[in-house]
Amino acid sequence: MAANDDTTILEETERTTGRAALRKNVQAAIALANTVRSTLGPKGLDKLLLDEEGGVQVTNDGVTVLEAARVEHPTARMMISSSSTQDRVARDGTTSTILIAAEMLQNAWDLVAQGVHPVVIANGYRMAEVEAQKILELISKESTDESEILQATHTSLAGKGHSDIQQRISELAVQAAASLATQENGKIRADPTLVKILANKGGQANETHLVNGVVIAKKPAHPEMTQSRDAGKILLIDGGIERRNTVIDAKIRITEAGMLEAFRNKESEMLAKQVDDIIALGVDILVCKDGIDDQARSLLEAAGITAYRRVHRNDMEALSRAVGSHPVHSTSTASKDDLGHFKSSRQEIWGDVGHWILEGSQKQGLTLVTRGSSEEMLEEVERCFADAIGVACHMHEEARSLAGGGATQIALARRLRRFAETIPGREQLAIEAYAEALEVIPRALAENAGQDALGRLLELTAAQTSADSDWLGLDLESESISDMHEAGIREPIAVTRQAIKGATDSAVSVLRIDDLLWAKQDPQIPEGVMEQLEGMGGA
C-alpha cells in the first residue's frame, strides 16, 4: 500500500513512527520517574495529593502517588500498571521499579542514537535479566531469625512516618506474619490479606495494636444476652431469622374470624422452630448476615445463646476463617458439622461504640486496630502496615534476604558488566546499559540524602570491588559505606526479584513499539439517536 493510502485511511488519527515514537515514549517514562524519584529511601520526601472532592493525602508511597495522578499517556500508564503489580505481588519496591524501567529506556535511547536496533537492545535486556536473577540467588543470605525478619520489615518502611511509628508497625507486622504462617504441601504460606484492619480514630499512631481475634463494631442483638464467654460453638447463617415476606405482591383475604390470628401464630411457630433447631445443635453464639426477629431474639436470650445480627459479609468471611466453618443458608439445613469453635468472646467499649472481640480456634483471626489523630494519619498507618505485613509474610515464605542501601544494585551492575564481556554481539552494549540502569537506585538514595550522587556511586563500587563484598551499601543515617548485614538494612529477595522482572518487562514492551496512533475524532451521536432528536425538534 502506498504511503498516501496510509494517510487517507488514518486521516482522523495522529501518528508517530520510528525513532520519534520511541523518543516520545522515553520522555513519558522519564517524566513519570521524576515524579516519584524524590520519595525513594529513608531520606525521601513526601507528596501532597489533592483529589477532586478536596480530600488531602500526604504520602511518599510511589504507587499511591502514581495511581492518584491523572495520566493519559499509554506508556506512562503501562509503567504505572507494572508498579501496581509490584505492589500487589511484593508490597514494596514500587518506586524502584519505575526508576529502573525509565533508566533502562533512557540508556536504550542512547544506544538507538548510536545505531543499535531496538530489537537487539530488547534481546540484550532479556539476557541481562536472566543473569541478574541468577546473581540474586548467589548474593542473597538465609534469614530465618526473627530479628532479621524484623530488619527487612523495618527497611521497607524507610521514610514512611516517624521512626517510632516505623518500629511499632514493623513489630506488629512480624507478629502477625508469624501467626499467619502455616505449612501447605511442605511450603510455608502466609496470606497478609487475612488481617482485618479496623480504624479507631483518636490517640497516637504508635498506640496502634494487634488484637488476637476478629473485632466487629457490634453489640448483642438483645441487651440481656451474655456478653463474655469462654470456649464454645458458633453458627454462622448467611441470612436471618425473620418473618417471611411474600416474593410477589399479594393480598390475604380474611373471610372468617380468627384467620389473621392463626396466620400470625403460624409465623410464630416457624420462628420458634428455627430457634429450636439452633438450640438442638448446642450453639453458644449465633451470627446472622441479615436481621433477627424480636420474638426470635427473646427465645435465643432465654436459651442462653448470644446472637449478632446484620453482620457485614466481609466480617462474616473473617469470622468463618477464624472459627473454621462456613455460613449455612438456613437453620433447617445446619448440622453439627457446620459449627465453628471459638476460644473466647467478649464485649469492649471503645469511645462510645461497642465492639465484639472473638478469638477463634484457627490462626487466621487477627485484627489490627489503627490509631491516629486524623483520617489522613489513619490511612497512612494502614498503608504502612499493608507494606510491612506483605514484606514480613514474604520473609516467612522465602527466608532469604538481600542487602539494602543500593548494595544489591551495585553488586548486580558489577557482575553484569563482567557477564557482558562474554557476549560477542551488540547485545553486549545492551547488557552494559542494563547494568548502568540498575545504578539509578544508589544514585537516587544519595541525591535524596543531599549527598554527591556520582561520588557516592563511585565510592561504593570501589569499596565492593576492593573488599570483594556484595553487602557493602550506603548507610544514610551514618553517611558512610557499611556492611548492610551488620547495619540491619536488608530486604526480601522476592521484592528485588519482582522489581527487576517488572522493570525489564516494561522497558522491553516500550522498545518493541514503533508506531503511536492517537485517535482525534470528536464524540459522535449514533444515527438512531440523532434521528430521534431531529424528530423531537420538528414536533
| Active-site choice (94, 97, 153, 408) | 94
Residue with cell 390470628: 261
Polymer length of the chain: 539
For the question of residue 246 being annotated catalytic, the response is: no
For the question of residue 387 being annotated catalytic, the response is: yes
| 414 vs 402: CA distance, rounded Å | 16
For the question of residue 61 being annotated catalytic, the response is: yes
Q: Cα separations (Å) of 21 from 92, 111, 117, 253?
A: 31, 15, 14, 77
**Residue type at position 402:** L
CB atoms within 10 A of CB 318: 25
C-alpha neighbours within 13 Å on the C-beta side of residue 180: 27
| Active-site choice (35, 59, 95, 408) | 95
Residue with cell 523518543: 23
| 360 vs 215: CA distance, rounded Å | 11
Coil, helix or strand at residue 162: coil
Residue with cell 552494549: 429
For the question of residue 226 being annotated catalytic, the response is: no
Residue 220, C-beta contacts closer than 8 angstroms, at least 6 positions apart: 226, 227, 306, 307, 308, 347, 356
DSSP secondary structure string for all residues of 450-480: TS-HHHHHHHHHHHHHHHT-TTEEEETTTTE
| 96 vs 86: CA distance, rounded Å | 10
| 239 vs 237: CA distance, rounded Å | 5
Buried b (16+ CB within 10 A) or exposed e, 79-101: bbebbbbbbebbbbbbbbbbbbb
| Active-site choice (87, 92, 293, 387) | 387
| Active-site choice (39, 59, 61, 208) | 61
User: Which residues are the active-site residues?
Assistant: 61, 94-95, 387
